Amino acid sequence: MNYQPVSSSNLRAVAYDSFTQTLGIIFKGNTEYHYYGVPQSVYLGLMRASSHGSYHAAHIKDVYRYRRVA
Protein backbone atom coordinates (compact mmCIF):
# COMPACT_ATOMS: atom_id res chain seq x y z
CA MET A 1 0.00 0.00 0.00
CA ASN A 2 1.14 3.52 -0.73
CA TYR A 3 0.73 5.71 2.31
CA GLN A 4 -0.31 9.33 1.90
CA PRO A 5 0.63 11.76 4.66
CA VAL A 6 -2.31 13.54 6.30
CA SER A 7 -2.51 16.66 8.39
CA SER A 8 -3.85 15.42 11.71
CA SER A 9 -3.01 15.57 15.38
CA ASN A 10 -3.58 11.79 15.70
CA LEU A 11 -2.99 10.19 12.28
CA ARG A 12 0.25 10.41 10.34
CA ALA A 13 -0.52 8.62 7.06
CA VAL A 14 -3.30 6.65 5.34
CA ALA A 15 -3.29 4.00 2.60
CA TYR A 16 -6.03 1.96 0.91
CA ASP A 17 -6.03 -1.21 -1.16
CA SER A 18 -9.29 -1.31 -3.14
CA PHE A 19 -8.75 -4.93 -4.24
CA THR A 20 -8.68 -6.27 -0.67
CA GLN A 21 -10.63 -3.36 0.89
CA THR A 22 -7.85 -2.91 3.42
CA LEU A 23 -7.33 0.48 5.02
CA GLY A 24 -3.92 1.18 6.54
CA ILE A 25 -3.39 3.91 9.09
CA ILE A 26 -0.13 4.98 10.68
CA PHE A 27 -0.76 6.92 13.87
CA LYS A 28 1.48 9.42 15.58
CA GLY A 29 3.99 7.36 17.51
CA ASN A 30 4.40 5.11 14.43
CA THR A 31 1.84 2.44 15.32
CA GLU A 32 0.31 0.96 12.18
CA TYR A 33 -3.08 -0.69 11.92
CA HIS A 34 -4.86 -2.43 9.06
CA TYR A 35 -8.67 -2.35 8.93
CA TYR A 36 -10.43 -5.00 6.85
CA GLY A 37 -13.58 -4.91 4.72
CA VAL A 38 -13.56 -1.12 4.51
CA PRO A 39 -15.56 0.21 1.54
CA GLN A 40 -13.82 2.71 -0.70
CA SER A 41 -16.47 5.29 0.21
CA VAL A 42 -15.28 5.18 3.84
CA TYR A 43 -11.66 5.64 2.76
CA LEU A 44 -12.65 8.60 0.58
CA GLY A 45 -14.67 10.06 3.45
CA LEU A 46 -11.62 9.78 5.71
CA MET A 47 -9.40 11.50 3.19
CA ARG A 48 -11.93 14.31 2.60
CA ALA A 49 -12.77 14.87 6.27
CA SER A 50 -11.85 18.15 7.87
CA SER A 51 -10.73 16.13 10.91
CA HIS A 52 -9.20 12.76 10.02
CA GLY A 53 -9.00 11.72 13.66
CA SER A 54 -12.68 12.48 14.33
CA TYR A 55 -13.74 10.64 11.18
CA HIS A 56 -11.66 7.63 12.19
CA ALA A 57 -13.23 7.60 15.66
CA ALA A 58 -16.79 7.92 14.34
CA HIS A 59 -16.73 5.74 11.21
CA ILE A 60 -13.81 3.27 11.41
CA LYS A 61 -12.65 2.55 14.96
CA ASP A 62 -14.69 -0.26 16.55
CA VAL A 63 -16.63 -0.69 13.28
CA TYR A 64 -14.20 -2.75 11.17
CA ARG A 65 -12.05 -5.72 12.09
CA TYR A 66 -8.46 -4.58 12.54
CA ARG A 67 -4.98 -5.76 13.37
CA ARG A 68 -1.92 -3.91 14.63
CA VAL A 69 0.93 -4.57 12.23
CA ALA A 70 3.71 -2.37 13.61
pLDDT in tens, 47-61: 999 999 999 999 999
pLDDT band at 25 (very low <50, low <70, confident <90, very high): very high
Q: How many helices (H) and strands (E) does the chain have?
A: 2, 5
Residue 12 has pLDDT above 90, yes or no: yes
- Calculate the CA dihedral of residues 42, 46, 52, 20 and round it to 10 degrees: 70
pLDDT of residue 63: 97
How many domains does the chain divide into? 1
Indicate the pTM of the whole model: 0.95
Residue 39 Cα distances to 11, 19, 30, 45, 70, angstroms: 19, 10, 24, 10, 23
Residue 70 has pLDDT above 90, yes or no: no
Average pLDDT for the chain: 97
Residue 1 has pLDDT above 90, yes or no: no
Segments forming the whole domain that contains residue 38: 4-68
